[in-house]
Amino acid sequence: MRLRTLFATVAVAVVAAAPPAALAQQKTITFRFNDPEAPQLRAALDEFEKRNPGIKVTMQRVSWGDAQQQYLREAAVGTAPDVAQLAFVWPRSFGGAGALRPLDDLITRPGLGMKGWDDFFARDLAVGPDGKVYGVPWTTDTFALIYNKEMLAGAGVATFPRTWDALREASQAVYRKGGKIGWGFPTGSCGTPTIWFVLNFYWWSKGPGLIDRTPDGKFRVSMTPAEIQEGFDYYNRYLQEGHNPRSSLSYCLWGAPEIVEGMLAGNMAMASVPDTVAIEIITKWQARNPGKSVPFATSPHPAGTNGSRTFFGGRMLGISANSKNVEEGWKLIQFLTQPDPTFTRHYTNYTPAQRSALDSRSWTPELAGYPEQLKTARSWGPYGTGPVAIPFMWNAVGRAAGSVFVGEKTSAQAAAELHDAISKELAKNQK
Amino acid sequence: MSAVAGERVHAPAPGRGRPAARVAERGFLWLALVPTFFFLVSFYLYPTLFNLETSLTDLSLFGLKRGGDWVGVDNYVELFRSGDFRRVLWNTIVWLTLAGVGVRIALGLALAFLLNSATLARWRLQTVSRVLLIVPWATPPVVAIIVWRWLLDPRVGSINSALISIGVVDQPIAFLSTAGWIWPALLTIITWNTLPLVALTFLASLQSLPDELVEAARIDGASRWQLVRYVYLPHLKPAIVVMILMSTFWTFNNFVYVWLTTGAGPGLYTNVMATEVYIQAFINGRFGYSSAAGVVMAAIMTVFGLVYLRVIARRELQEERS
Amino acid sequence: MTPAFRFGRRLGLGLLGEVAVVLTTLVVLFFLVYPTAWVLVASFKTPETMFAAGRWEFTLQNYVKLLDAGFGRNILNSLVLCIVSVAISTVLAVNAAYAFSRLRFRGKDALFSSVLFGQTFPWIILVTPVFILCARLGWLNSMASMIFVYVAVTLPFSIYLLVGYLRAVPESLDEAAIIDGATRFQIIWRIVFPIMLPGIVATATYAFLLCWSEYLFALALLTADEMKTMPLALYLYFGENVTEWGHVMAAAALTTLPTLLLFLPLQTRMVSGLAAGSVKQ
């Protein structure tokens, strides 16, 4: 009897003593990740938890269309998640809003990425208006043109066009040949229209684009209405000549089912998409046509006098201003920016936003256009660091182009109004 | 002052004096109304004040923490001066609300009569039609829009292939891309998704019509149209009156359908007030300006509601039936 | 023979007319059901072949993957939230509607109009202040606060709908009961309620479907995965680059189904209690 009591007392004492010690070190942090690859990230997070026994990570998810407003609302009342996946251009505006914690003291520590802070892309976009760093670029991607080799060859296009005019002619040739769609870019409107991207690719191939920085540090609108109009006219010709059908006005996103299905069914010859969508098209095609060789290939966009210019897109990671778990959050960020194991084993379809890591991802032959495009891609630069917010321009450009495409305004009119709106916004916000 | 005759005056039963009845009445009144108004006031008061105040500032989505600066009526002036304001109002009032509500009330009535008819009872179709009636309403709007976009697609959509095979048209119509067709297509989607509410409301009203009334009228030799006009419609009037009010409020303020179908485009072709508010608030980040637009919307609906209640509804909802 | 039955006969519809009515009904039902049926069928196709014309592949994987991802929890959340909110809202609305419809009191007009006032604002500008309020009160990620929100949001129109239905219930019934010494509450729930059942069913269905598909408030107030309601989970499958169509279609089917199942027993109550008893006007 006495021995049992002794045992019991000892057992209780041991049990009572152990958990508090363990619990004192156990911390739970929240990580918001908004892309569909949540299961893959969860696996990566499980490995992080194994390597850091005192930290547990709960994942949250908000759909991208609502993610910005949701985060800012939460930051205003102090309930934002510890670590969050952010759109590439958010850290600057979020930092200015006081929603993110400055990271200057943390980025100097060893263990960030393959070769430290200086190896990261787009660091200028991660800097807030006060000069402090608010985000860590995590993944990067860009758009390239995926095309159906057989459809183009059948229309007499042997090599993929490298100029804008040749691209339009190739698209028209496909349409003339069999009534199929050439380059079926979406011309519809929504919160984040594709036409913004392809218009900028066109403008950037010929100059600095809408916003540029002057030598004395000020920002200006660096395109004339005539230059803006040229872009509208270029894409409007696709609609007028019929090789991008009017039905493209009914969809808006670059990964719309109309595009994916069009490419898969052989109804569309070309599409401008990020690598995730290209992979989707290729994978689905292989599932429908087992054993056959894939008819797709990819190429950078046409080049102008300024080269072939797309943007560095992607995601950044940030720590919220109200986070009480900064150390743990930073450990997570360090972990996630290492190619191994996050990118090598789990998040495999994405490229880390670091120069050294660009070559570490292996691309299949069909996707060769992407690493080539990444070589000449440019940062948003003055668009992101300037006084005119990207969402404002994105929406204004999309609406202006849409009104031209649907026939409500002439391209000259729309270009003049757009130029006016952006100039006003710039003047209003530039101190 | 209140022209409502909701209570009959009758001789008090012995033992039940006036004072006791009045106390019981007041007690009931409090118990019936206080919980309701507790919810309403505590939920709507702060947001209303917030928006009224914000509409007079330049609060931005990025400045939620620090607040906005006072600008007075600048937001309202800018709103009324904006070139697109007239088009947005026109889209909202004429296309979205007037046409939308009109179509739904008319079709809802027709559907209710159809589902109430004896023929269906005899062929034992009543239960299945009532349950299937709910199906469009039970489908989430985003899913409804996806399916309808697929159906309306000029290349692969069933509607175009059906039209072509019947021979009505020989070229497919790009419904959501052709200026003249966009609004009808949008209204079709909205109607499909929300018609069951209207139809069910009217059906419920029809089902509560005492059979004796119909019987009596028929014995008197009423024809079908006379029955509809003198028996059914008067019975339905309160439900119709309420439905018009509710539908108008709900449609005028609606955001989801326009946004998910056309994104207020192409360009700004289908921009309505609610999408304008959304774009200004969450894309351009201008909370002050969008609150002003929201207040204007609320003002329009309030004026409409007050006029409607005073002129039409009071007669139907509060007066004694003769 | 019920008078409704005689309705058809009396009109001299004859067999041809009858068949026309039935055919019209079938056509109407087809239009009502076809889009959702399309979704249901699509949920059993693989995402790779879902939108392809012609051949398609049958699969149950969409549902398996969806439920693996925890969608069952979302449905449960939505069910509990909506049923409780609708129950509370309907009870409150019936009482309030009765008061507005039958009683006379000072300020009635103003109060009646004010019920609808909150609904004059578009919801998108109500979300941010409601969020701020709930956050300051510590009411985020809480079922109780969501119930509060949904009751407040469904009350106004429920009251108005029910006032409309109450017009059809003759007041002579009330008076008879008052003379017999009944309290107002007894009158409502023992006498008026059974007669008004079709209206109450319609109102409850409206309130339920409003809660069931509500997105904006749920988005702002529920960020923890295990608290999320069904519409939030559904929207998550629409990625920025890639949409997971398999999950979307399966989720859509699982969303539509509970509503139908809940409505099936309810719709039998759509027959009025007035048909049973009779009170001569």
Q: At what angle do helices C61-68 and C245-267 cross, to 10 degrees?
A: 90
Restricting to C residues 25-84, those with a Cβ less than 8 Å away from any Cβ of A are 46-49, 51-53, 69
CA distance B118 to chain C (A): 5
User: How is chain A split among helix, strand and coil, in percent rounded to 5?
Assistant: 50, 15, 35
Q: Using the predicted structure, report yes or no on whether residue A102 has a pLDDT greater than 90.
A: yes
Among A125-139, A338-352, B288-302, the minimum mean pLDDT is found in: A338-352
Q: Using the predicted structure, report yes or no on whether residue C3 has a pLDDT greater than 60.
A: no
Residues of C with CB below 8 A from A140's CB? none
Among A85-89, B49-53, C62-66, C114-118, the minimum mean pLDDT is found in: C114-118
At residue A306, what are phi and psi to the nearest 5 degrees? -100, 15
Q: Which residues pair with A424 in a beta bridge?
A: none
Q: Each residue of C181-216: pLDDT tens digit?
A: 878 888 888 888 888 888 898 899 999 999 999 999
Element (H, E) at A260: helix A257-264
Restricting to B residues 277-316, those with a Cβ less than 8 Å away from any Cβ of C are 277-278, 281-282, 287, 290-291, 294, 297-299, 301-302, 305-306, 309, 314, 316
- What is the SS3 assignment for C95? helix
| Domain edges within chain A | 27-134+313-352, 143-311+385-429
Chain B residue at shortest CA distance from C131: B47
CATH 3.40.190.10 fits A27-134+313-352, yes or no: yes
Interface check for A254 against chain C (CB to CB < 8 A): the answer is: yes
Check residue C196 and give its pLDDT. 83
Q: Each residue of A201-236: pLDDT tens digit?
A: 999 999 999 999 999 989 999 999 999 999 999 999
Q: Do residues B211 and C272 lie in contact, with contact meaning Cβ atoms separated by under 8 Å?
A: no
- Average pLDDT estimate for A331-360: 89
A105: number of Cβ within 10 Å = 12
Q: Each residue of B127-170: pLDDT tens digit?
A: 888 889 989 998 989 889 989 998 998 888 889 988 998 888 88
Q: Do residues A169 and A156 lie in contact, with contact meaning Cβ atoms separated by under 8 Å?
A: no
Q: What is the average pLDDT score of chain A?
A: 91
Q: Using the predicted structure, report yes or no on whether residue B4 has a pLDDT greater than 50.
A: no
Alpha helix (H) residue ranges in B117-232: 118-122, 126-138, 141-152, 158-166, 179-207, 211-219, 224-227
CA atoms within 13 A on the CB side of B317: 30
- Average pLDDT estimate for C123-147: 91
Q: Which residues contact B36 (CB under 8 A, 6 or more apart)?
A: C92, C93, C95, C96, C115, C155, C159
Antiparallel, parallel or unpaired: β A55-60 and A27-32: parallel
Check residue A308 and give its pLDDT. 95
What is the C-alpha separation between C24 and B35, in angstroms, rounded?
A: 46
What's the topology of domain B76-318? MetI-like fold (1.10.3720)
Check residue A266 and give its pLDDT. 93
Q: Is the dihedral of CA A360, A361, A362, A366 positive or negative?
A: negative
> What one-character DSSP code corresponds to residue A298?
E
Antiparallel, parallel or unpaired: β A27-32 and A268-274: unpaired
Check residue B23 and give its pLDDT. 64
CA distance C124 to chain B (A): 7
Q: From A151, A301, A296, A180, select the one nearest A234 (Cα to Cα).
A: A301
Between the CA of residue C123 and those of B142, C130, C191, what are the distances in Å?
A: 17, 10, 37
Q: From B93, B263, B266, select the one nearest A408 (Cα to Cα).
A: B266
Chain A residue at shortest CA distance from B280: A392
Q: Do C108 and B4 touch (CB under 8 A)?
A: yes
Q: Using the predicted structure, report yes or no on whether residue B109 has a pLDDT greater than 80.
A: yes
- What is the SS3 assignment for A160? coil
What is the C-alpha separation between B36 and B103, in angstroms, rounded?
A: 33
Q: Which residues pair with A28 in a beta bridge?
A: A56
Q: Using the predicted structure, report yes or no on whether residue B21 has a pLDDT greater than 80.
A: no
Element (H, E) at A299: strand A296-299
Check residue A106 and give its pLDDT. 94
Chain C residue at shortest CA distance from A64: C240
Q: Each residue of C217-251: pLDDT tens digit?
A: 999 999 888 899 999 999 888 888 888 888 999 99
Restricting to A residues 286-345, those with a Cβ less than 8 Å away from any Cβ of B are none
Q: Each residue of A235-278: pLDDT tens digit?
A: 999 999 999 999 999 999 999 989 999 999 999 999 999 999 99
What is the C-alpha separation between C118 and C138, in angstroms, rounded?
A: 23
Interface check for B317 against chain C (CB to CB < 8 A): the answer is: yes
| Domain edges within chain B | 76-318
Tokens 């509409």 correspond to: B55
Most confident of A111-115, A223-227, B309-313: A223-227
Q: Using the predicted structure, report yes or no on whether residue B235 has a pLDDT greater than 90.
A: no
Q: Do C242 and A77 touch (CB under 8 A)?
A: no
Confidence of residue B322 (pLDDT cuts 50, 70, 90): very low
pTM passes above 0.95: no
Q: Which residues pair with A212 in a beta bridge?
A: A220
Q: Do A188 and B262 touch (CB under 8 A)?
A: yes
Interface check for A267 against chain C (CB to CB < 8 A): the answer is: no
A268-274, strands of its sheet edge to edge? A181-183, A268-274, A143-148, A296-299
Check residue C279 and give its pLDDT. 39
Structure tokens at A409: 């305004």
Check residue A220 and give its pLDDT. 95
CA distance A401 to chain B (A): 7
Check residue B67 and give its pLDDT. 85
| Domain edges within chain C | 3-42, 65-270
What's the topology of domain C65-270? MetI-like fold (1.10.3720)
Q: Which residues contact C30 (CB under 8 A, 6 or more apart)?
A: none
Confidence of residue A355 (pLDDT cuts 50, 70, 90): confident
Antiparallel, parallel or unpaired: β A313-319 and A136-141: antiparallel
Chain A residue at shortest CA distance from C215: A66
ipTM for this prediction: 0.89
Q: Using the predicted structure, report yes or no on whether residue B257 has a pLDDT greater than 90.
A: yes
Q: At what angle do helices A164-178 and A225-241 cross, to 10 degrees?
A: 20
Q: Using the predicted structure, report yes or no on whether residue B265 has a pLDDT greater than 60.
A: yes
Comparing C7 with B201, the larger pLDDT belongs to B201
> What one-character DSSP code corresponds to residue A191?
S
Q: What is the average pLDDT score of chain C?
A: 84
Element (H, E) at A147: strand A143-148
CA B154 to chain centre: 31
Q: Do residues A167 and A183 lie in contact, with contact meaning Cβ atoms separated by under 8 Å?
A: yes
- Report the percent of chain C where pLDDT is more than 70: 90
Q: Do A69 and B264 touch (CB under 8 A)?
A: no
- Average pLDDT estimate for B291-302: 94
Q: From C84, C70, C54, select the one nearest C234 (Cα to Cα).
A: C70
- Report the percent of chain C where pLDDT is more than 90: 40
Check residue A407 and give its pLDDT. 92
- Average pLDDT estimate for B23-28: 76
Q: Do residues B290 and C73 lie in contact, with contact meaning Cβ atoms separated by under 8 Å?
A: no
ω into residue A36 within 30 of 0, thus cis?
Answer: no
Interface check for C236 against chain A (CB to CB < 8 A): the answer is: yes
CA distance A28 to chain C (A): 13
Confidence of residue B24 (pLDDT cuts 50, 70, 90): low
CATH 3.40.30.10 fits A143-311+385-429, yes or no: no
Restricting to A residues 403-422, those with a Cβ less than 8 Å away from any Cβ of B are 403-409
Q: Do C241 and A274 touch (CB under 8 A)?
A: yes
Check residue B39 and give its pLDDT. 93
- Average pLDDT estimate for C109-116: 86
Between the CA of residue C218 and those of A62, A347, C235, what are the distances in Å?
A: 11, 29, 12
Q: Using the predicted structure, report yes or no on whether residue A311 has a pLDDT greater than 50.
A: yes
> What one-character DSSP code corresponds to residue A292?
S
Check residue C117 and give its pLDDT. 84
Q: Which chains touch B (3 or more CB pairs under 8 A)?
A: A, C
Tokens 């239960």 correspond to: B127
What is the C-alpha separation between A420 and A389, in angstroms, rounded?
A: 15
Comparing C120 with A174, the larger pLDDT belongs to A174
Confidence of residue B15 (pLDDT cuts 50, 70, 90): very low
Q: From A347, A344, A198, A360, select the one nearest A270 (Cα to Cα).
A: A198
Q: Do C175 and B10 touch (CB under 8 A)?
A: yes
Check residue C6 and give its pLDDT. 45
Q: Each residue of B96-106: pLDDT tens digit?
A: 899 999 999 99
At residue A92, what are phi and psi to the nearest 5 degrees? -65, -50
Interface check for A289 against chain C (CB to CB < 8 A): the answer is: no
Q: Using the predicted structure, report yes or no on whether residue B318 has a pLDDT greater than 80.
A: no
Q: From A90, A212, A190, A185, select the one nearest A398 (Cα to Cα).
A: A190
Interface check for C255 against chain B (CB to CB < 8 A): the answer is: yes
Q: Using the predicted structure, report yes or no on whether residue B276 has a pLDDT greater than 60.
A: yes
